[in-house]
Structure 1
Amino acid sequence: MDVGQSTATDLLGRAHAGTFRMEPGKGREVADIYIRFADFVADQIDEAKRLHALTGFGGFASAGELSKGFEGKAVEMTAALTSMRIAALRMAEAYLIAGGMVEAADDLNRRVINATANATGGDRRP
């Protein structure tokens, strides 16, 4: 499921190529919006992970199947949210590069790498 990764990748490529440019202050402003969104999504990822193991459905076989179905949807939701978070961080990185803030973009790129590595567990905010 592509929830913005292709757009982020394209924009990041344009920023690296120098065909997408912005004033440094404006690039930082837009990047900050994407970073805030990524942090908000990180909180939603935490909530979704709590739904990976549900209880309270009872002991019937049908209750177990229902529980597993909901847990599976929670895992899918976590994956989609994680992809959204990574795409948002990549967008922020693109805007920083477009604004000429390469060091800030490098720092953010480390967050992206850590977020990708931690997608299946671990810290949500590298």
Structure 2
Amino acid sequence: MSGAPDRTPGKIEVFFKAMGQVIPAETVCGDTVLEAAHKNGISLEGACEGNLACSTCHVILEEPLYRRLGEPSDKEYDLLDQAFGGTSTSRLGCQLKIDKSFEKAIFTIPRATKNMAVDGFKPKPH
């Protein structure tokens, strides 16, 4: 998992682990983990489009990053309770804003999701 020598300046390298594969991705500060996945063509569902109304962008963090980020909000905890395969280091990708401390972070994408709206949320039409 060494970084590519020709990385774009100003970009942060992160990794997504899905179905046994580790996929490198480039992102920038300010993107969410969900946005970083989508910009890199990585399949991370976001049924509510990042509006904190579902658990489909559930990712599992490595313990050091999870501890550094602090606790999820009560609403995020409630949604994580519904997530498939939740762990003690689970978070929602739409709630994690990338900064320089995310360099080389690994986000594990669970094998499945539970796609259900919460509180009657209806996404805006595209």
TM-score bin (small chain): under 0.3
Q: TM-score, normalised by structure 1?
A: 0.24
Q: Where is the helix percentage greater, Structure 1 or Structure 2?
A: 1
Structure index of larger Rg:
1
Q: Which has the higher contact order (CA 8 A, sep 6+)?
A: 1
Q: TM-score, normalised by structure 2?
A: 0.24
